[in-house]
Amino acid sequence: MKRVSLFTICFVIFIISWVFLEFVMGGVISKPIPSSVISMYMALILIAILVHVSVEDTRFREFLRPIHETLVDENRHVRRIVLAVLIPLLMLGYTYSNLAQKANPPGDPRDAHPSPPLELTYKDEVIGSMQTVENPHRHYEKDDPEKFKSHVENGRRVYYQNCFYCHGDHLDGQGHFADALNPLPANFQDPGIIPNFQESFFFWRISKGGPGLPASGTPWNSAMPIWEDHLTKEEIWDVILFLSDYTGYPYRTFGEGH
Amino acid sequence: MRCCSSLITKKRLYFILGFVLLGTVLLAVVPAFAQDMTDAEYRPFPLIGSRNAAWIAAQLHLLFGSFILGVPMFAVIIEFIGWKTKDERYDRMAQEFIKLCMGAFSTTALLGGVLVFVLVWCYPKVLSKLSGIFGPTMIFYVVLFFGETFTLYLYSYGWDKMKGRFKWVHLVLGVLLNVWGTAIMFVSNTWLTYQTSPAIQYGKASVETQEKWLESQLAQNSELTRAEVLEGVTDTTVISLHNETSGEFLGTVWEAVNNFTWMPVNIHRLIGNIAFGGSIVAAYAAFRYLVAKTKEEKAHYDWMGYNGNFIALCGLIPLPFAGYWLGREIYMFNNTMGINMMGSLFSWLFIIQAVMIGVLFIGANYYLWSGMGRIQGAEIYARYRPYMIAIIVIGVAIWMTPRTLSKISTASELSAMGGSNHPHLGLFGLMTSKNTVVNIVILTTFLSFLFYRRSGKTPTVSWKGIGNIVITAIFFLGVVSIVVIGIVGFIVPTDTRVNVLTPWQVLVALGVMVVVTVVDIFLYRKATTSGTINWGQMTERSQYVLILLAITFTSLMGLMGYARSGLREGWHIFGVQKDTSVDAFTPALGDAVNMVSIIMVIFFALVGFIFWLGLWGDKKKQPATPIEAEATVESDD
């Protein structure tokens, strides 16, 4: 039986990797992966294959042998013609699929997270610097657990009266209106949301809403209302307590500097 | 040609080069002199604009500076090894490194002059503000510069004269050269880091500064009492070193020097200089290898390239740790700046950074694995290579996976994914995942080096079996610990992750490397050499990889410099002096990449020219170091 060439093995590994990412990882195991991310992973897999085959001269020659034979050997005439037709056709198809008009608008070019201002305000009142302001009800967690609990309960009331329509019953961004919004409402159950930001950041986002987002990193397209027009300072701080209490994620805090 | 080289000496050529460059700058700036010479805040730089002029001058100065500060660090160590082992090859290689440095030294100084000139002309108010605070350090800088210059000349020109019983004096000069160089860098870092983080923690400020700050706060908020201002102020509260209304400086010079980002930038640059210097030297050696005509030359430059890459690797391995510390301090100074850096305006830059660091790690490993091809007996380690490639590539893939995919996905893809974060791959975008894989990639690179070091040798100690089991167990436990810490990082508060878990991950990785190195040294102390290193038998591909590494290092330095500087956004001095010039906008990432690429091309053109000048005079004088081209029964350590 004829031995399978190294080139063929590498080619098969490459295709299997693509099938795994596109259909297994992006279908069976999890949700679909964007094509740009798959391209990035495939580029890395290609690099890995090329590194493996080219480190040693003998292996590299073995890898290149079928390519060389296809290009120069007399008895590979048919294969050459097939490839000469197939490769331009594939390139044509790829070019067409990229250039053809599709009803598929590009993704959102906005930044992942807006840059907060240096100063935290409620309406026109300056509360303090974004860096140092803390939730005024947070200390009850240690000092007076009962009082803390009442603030959390107040936060729960505020949330289910105002926020759950978009952010969902379970704070997972799957509220009734979620499907009509782009970008989707924040998912507080995501481990990358609450732990990455201070409570002051959340106060700013809630109080100023979509219209209060910074000029840089636009377009934001946020449907978040300006909640400082409807909620008191205490209610906003309480709902912030509730978000953390419900999800179990602590907010970002800072320790000692150098 | 001989006639030309005798008429136009190397020194004279440097002078000509210097005058030509200075003349070009003067010619470009002369039209601007004709404009308003009154007390302007800004003056335009012709054709390319002030910001671009300052950018090019500063970046080129930094790249050359990095090279001339990095090379002497390892040159003196190599010279010391040569002295102790009585191996002339090391001494000659160190001397060759310093020769490369000499050529770049005058260009660094010249570019520093150009930078000052551009700043004085284009940004007089900024320079005035900085010199008002840092005046004493600028005088100190000049003193250090003289010290560095004269020590470098003594060190270089005295190389042959101090051989023999005065070698130790020469080595002391080498150490002194590094002391001057490091001090120069530390001093100049104060100015630029202060622009980013002009603040101090309340508890670290002097009593006078605390009092001045308090008075400035009371003056701004006349309705408040002292007690009300101090309410909520703790030792860790960040206070500005300037009066927020008048801009008056409130602190001491030392407080300004010891700002949040100063020491992290110092350490990051110190290590980075070694990596960068090593990579440039390796690229130089690679080029010489590719054009070498004789076996001896090939052998010599192969050996030099190996050493350059080894030095670059030594710098590269701890570099991410230092970078992480810098990032942490930026968050500590100002959370908004931190969010801008990692989650907002500059976040995609860090994806590009991950790609480039991936190139560095894959390239460095590729070179090591290629190098094992020239060692007889290294074949036994080849079977591990596919797994190591897989670990490194998976690590790099995780490192470069963005957290938020909205910018690189179509609307239908976002909808299918259920948002801008992928439910599973999105976890790769969090820092705890990235820190975990960085440490594993570093350990894998270390393992590559360990295999290289062991190639062609057989341990003779009686406990060799146990020794190998111990090393394997240390690696296994280290990797398991790093992964477990990484998983715990998803569930603990961020403060705990940043200040406790991540340092532990770093300590585990460093601990594994230190302990394994010590055990391995004893294990192979009296090893028999079963194979030989055939210097000069590397593939040409591996040499192009060395050149690629130098290009990647240069680009990376340029891009991360853009991030460090751009983080100030619309400020010359963050929160203190606003940028009101026409250039008061943050360039888009694409523009920055173009600019960095242009600077990189200029840098390599200048470096190539300087190296060529250096070689011109030496061509006839010095043959390549006589290393046996084949069958060199020498171990690399």
How many whole angstroms separate alpha carbon B358 and alpha carbon A96?
Answer: 32
**Cβ A32–B416 below 8 Å, yes or no?**
yes
SS3 of B55-112: the string is HHHHHHHHHHHHHHHHHHHHHHHHHHHHHHHCCHHHHHHHHHHHHHHHHHHHHHHHHH
**Cβ A255–B389 below 8 Å, yes or no?**
no
Q: In B241-308, which ranges are E strands? A: none
User: Using one digit for the tens of pLDDT, what is the confidence trace for B453-479?
Assistant: 999 898 989 999 999 999 999 999 999
Radius of gyration of chain A, Cα coordinates, nearest whole angstrom:
28
Peptide bond into A32 cis (omega under 30): no
The chain A residue lying nearest B429, using CA atoms, is A192
The shortest CB-CB distance from A253 to any of B339, B427, B493 is to B493
**Is A235 within the bounds of a domain?**
yes
Query: Is the CB of residue A206 less than 8 Å from the CB of residue A226?
Result: no
Q: In a 3-state reduction of DSSP, which class is residue A226? A: coil
Q: In chain A, which ranges are E strands? A: 119-122, 125-129
**Cβ B238–A131 below 8 Å, yes or no?**
yes
For residue A45, the chain B residues in CB contact (below 8 A) are 393
How far lies A103's CA from each of A180, B23, B32, B312, B416, in Å?
Answer: 18, 57, 52, 49, 15
How many whole angstroms separate alpha carbon B78 and alpha carbon B386?
Answer: 33
The chain A residue lying nearest B384, using CA atoms, is A52
Task: Say how many CB pairs under 8 Å bridge A and B.
Answer: 206
* Average pLDDT value for residue range B84-113: 89
**Cβ A104–B410 below 8 Å, yes or no?**
yes
How many whole angstroms separate alpha carbon B499 and alpha carbon B508?
Answer: 15
End-to-end CA, chain B: 41
Q: In a 3-state reduction of DSSP, which class is residue B375? A: strand
Q: Any residues with CB less than 8 A from the CB of B299 and at least 6 apart, and which?
A: B535, B536, B624, B627, B628, B629, B630, B632
Q: At residue B256, what is the residue type?
A: A
Highest mean pLDDT among B166-175, B242-251, B522-531: B166-175
Peptide bond into B198 cis (omega under 30): no
How many whole angstroms separate alpha carbon B203 and alpha carbon B234?
Answer: 7
Q: A126 and A229 in one domain?
A: yes
Query: Is the CB of residue B351 less than 8 Å from the CB of residue B431?
Result: no
Nearest-neighbour CA in chain B from A74: distance (Å):
30
**Cβ B201–A36 below 8 Å, yes or no?**
no
How many whole angstroms separate alpha carbon B198 and alpha carbon B206?
Answer: 15
Q: A140 and A54 in one domain?
A: no
**Cβ A105–B411 below 8 Å, yes or no?**
yes
**Is A106 within the bounds of a domain?**
no
Q: A175 and A87 in one domain?
A: no
With vertex at residue A85, the alpha carbon angle to CA A83 and CA A90, rounded to the nearest 5 degrees, is: 85
* Average pLDDT value for residue range B517-527: 92
> How is residue A3 written in tokens?
């031995």
User: Using one digit for the tens of pLDDT, what is the confidence trace for A188-235?
Assistant: 998 888 988 899 999 999 999 999 988 777 777 889 999 999 999 999
Q: Report the pLDDT value the prediction gives residue A1, as an integer from 0 to 100.
A: 63
Give me the half-sphere count of Cα atoms (radius 13 Å) on the Cβ side of residue B7.
4
Nearest-neighbour CA in chain A from B345: distance (Å):
7
Query: Is the CB of residue B317 less than 8 Å from the CB of residue B445?
Result: yes
- Best mutation target among A37, A120, A203 (most B Cβ atoms within 10 Å) is A37
Domain at A232, CATH number:
1.10.760
Position B39 pLDDT exceeds 60:
no
**Cβ A184–B420 below 8 Å, yes or no?**
yes
Q: Any residues with CB less than 8 A from the CB of B460 and at least 6 apart, and which?
A: B526, B527, B528
Q: In a 3-state reduction of DSSP, which class is residue B485? A: helix
How many whole angstroms separate alpha carbon B327 and alpha carbon B341?
Answer: 8
Nearest-neighbour CA in chain A from B280: distance (Å):
22
For residue A37, the chain B residues in CB contact (below 8 A) are 401-402, 405, 408, 422, 425
**Cβ B429–A192 below 8 Å, yes or no?**
yes
**Which of A45, A69, A99 lies at the terminal end of a domain, its last residue?**
A99
Position B376 pLDDT exceeds 60:
yes
**Cβ A104–B343 below 8 Å, yes or no?**
no
CA B533 to chain centre: 31
Nearest-neighbour CA in chain A from B430: distance (Å):
7
Q: At residue B223, what is the residue type?
A: E
**Is A113 within the bounds of a domain?**
no
> How is residue A13 written in tokens?
């590994």
Sign of the CA dihedral running A210, A213, A219, A220 = negative
Q: A128 and A88 in one domain?
A: no
User: Using one digit for the tens of pLDDT, what is the confidence trace for B533-570?
Assistant: 889 999 999 999 999 999 999 999 999 999 999 999 88
Instruction: Calculate what percentage of chain B has a pLDDT beyond 90.
Output: 61
**Cβ B343–A217 below 8 Å, yes or no?**
no
How many whole angstroms separate alpha carbon B330 and alpha carbon B326?
Answer: 6
Q: Checking phi first, is residue A135 left (phi over 0); if not, alpha (psi -120 to 50) or beta?
A: beta
Q: In a 3-state reduction of DSSP, which class is residue B577? A: strand
Q: Report residue B144's pLDDT band, with 50, 70 and 90 as the boundaries.
A: very high
**Cβ A198–B335 below 8 Å, yes or no?**
yes
Q: A142 and A77 in one domain?
A: no
Phi and psi torsions of A240, nearest 5°: -65, -40
Q: Report the pLDDT value the prediction gives residue B193, as an integer from 0 to 100.
A: 96
The shortest CB-CB distance from A107 to any of B369, B393, B408 is to B408
Nearest-neighbour CA in chain A from B126: distance (Å):
22
> How is residue B234 written in tokens?
């703790």
**Cβ B390–A48 below 8 Å, yes or no?**
yes
Q: A127 and A54 in one domain?
A: no
> How is residue B519 written in tokens?
């055990």
**Cβ B344–A131 below 8 Å, yes or no?**
no
Among residues A237, A228, A235, A236, the alpha carbon closest in space to that of A123 is found at A228
How far lies B614's CA from each of B6, B96, B367, B368, B618, in Å?
Answer: 14, 10, 27, 29, 7
Position B16 pLDDT exceeds 70:
no
A221-255 as b/e, with b when 16 or more CB fall inside 10 Å? ebebbebbeebeeebbbbbbbbbbbbbebbbbbbe
For residue B541, the chain A residues in CB contact (below 8 A) are 54
**Is A241 within the bounds of a domain?**
yes
Higher pLDDT, B16 or B110: B110
B143-155 as b/e, with b when 16 or more CB fall inside 10 Å? ebbebbeebbebb
Q: Which domain holds residue A73?
A: 6-99
**Which of A68, A99, A130 lies at the terminal end of a domain, its last residue?**
A99
**Cβ B410–A187 below 8 Å, yes or no?**
no
Q: Checking phi first, is residue B493 left (phi over 0); if not, alpha (psi -120 to 50) or beta?
A: beta
Q: A127 and A64 in one domain?
A: no
Q: Report the pLDDT value the prediction gives residue B601, as an integer from 0 to 100.
A: 96
Q: A162 and A50 in one domain?
A: no
**Cβ B347–A40 below 8 Å, yes or no?**
no
How many whole angstroms separate alpha carbon B156 and alpha carbon B99?
Answer: 7
How far lies A229's CA from each of A122, A124, A199, A233, B65, in Å?
Answer: 10, 11, 19, 10, 55
**Is A136 within the bounds of a domain?**
yes
Position B92 pLDDT exceeds 60:
yes
- Best mutation target among B233, B407, B492 (most A Cβ atoms within 10 Å) is B407
How many whole angstroms separate alpha carbon B192 and alpha carbon B564?
Answer: 9
Q: A123 and A95 in one domain?
A: no
Q: At what angle do helices B295-316 and B88-122 cross, to 10 degrees?
A: 60
**Cβ B329–A33 below 8 Å, yes or no?**
no
Residue with the two structure tokens 């209304």: B245
Higher pLDDT, B630 or B507: B507
For residue B498, the chain A residues in CB contact (below 8 A) are 255
How many whole angstroms separate alpha carbon B90 and alpha carbon B86?
Answer: 9
- Give the count of domains, chain A: 2
The chain A residue lying nearest B364, using CA atoms, is A51
**Is A69 within the bounds of a domain?**
yes
How many whole angstroms separate alpha carbon B595 and alpha carbon B51?
Answer: 11
How many whole angstroms separate alpha carbon B552 and alpha carbon B357?
Answer: 8
Q: A149 and A238 in one domain?
A: yes
- Best mutation target among B330, B409, B545 (most A Cβ atoms within 10 Å) is B409
- Best mutation target among B344, B430, B451, B497 (most A Cβ atoms within 10 Å) is B344
How many whole angstroms separate alpha carbon B624 and alpha carbon B93?
Answer: 10
Position B12 pLDDT exceeds 60:
no
Q: A135 and A77 in one domain?
A: no
Q: At residue B437, what is the residue type?
A: V
The shortest CB-CB distance from A254 to any of B332, B402, B575 is to B332
Nearest-neighbour CA in chain A from B332: distance (Å):
6
Q: A170 and A80 in one domain?
A: no
- Best mutation target among A13, A44, A188, A199 (most B Cβ atoms within 10 Å) is A44
User: What ipTM is given for this predicted complex?
Assistant: 0.83
Higher pLDDT, B85 or B25: B85
Q: At what angle do helices B464-488 and B502-523 cross, to 10 degrees?
A: 170
Position B168 pLDDT exceeds 90:
yes
Nearest-neighbour CA in chain B from A82: distance (Å):
31
How many whole angstroms separate alpha carbon B79 and alpha carbon A29?
Answer: 57
> How is residue B557 written in tokens?
């330095």
Q: Report the pLDDT value the prediction gives residue A8, as an integer from 0 to 100.
A: 94
For residue B389, the chain A residues in CB contact (below 8 A) are 48, 51-52
Q: At residue A143, what is the residue type?
A: D
The shortest CB-CB distance from B373 to any of A56, A111, A182 is to A56
Q: In a 3-state reduction of DSSP, which class is residue B249? A: strand
**Is A78 within the bounds of a domain?**
yes
**Cβ A116–B335 below 8 Å, yes or no?**
yes
For residue B362, the chain A residues in CB contact (below 8 A) are 47, 51
The shortest CB-CB distance from B236 to any of A109, A195, A257 is to A257
Name the DSSP class of A29: I
Which regions of chain A are under pLDDT 70? Answer: 1, 107-111, 255-258
**Cβ A217–B347 below 8 Å, yes or no?**
no
> How is residue B569 written in tokens?
């956004």
pTM of the full predicted structure? 0.86
**Is A1 within the bounds of a domain?**
no
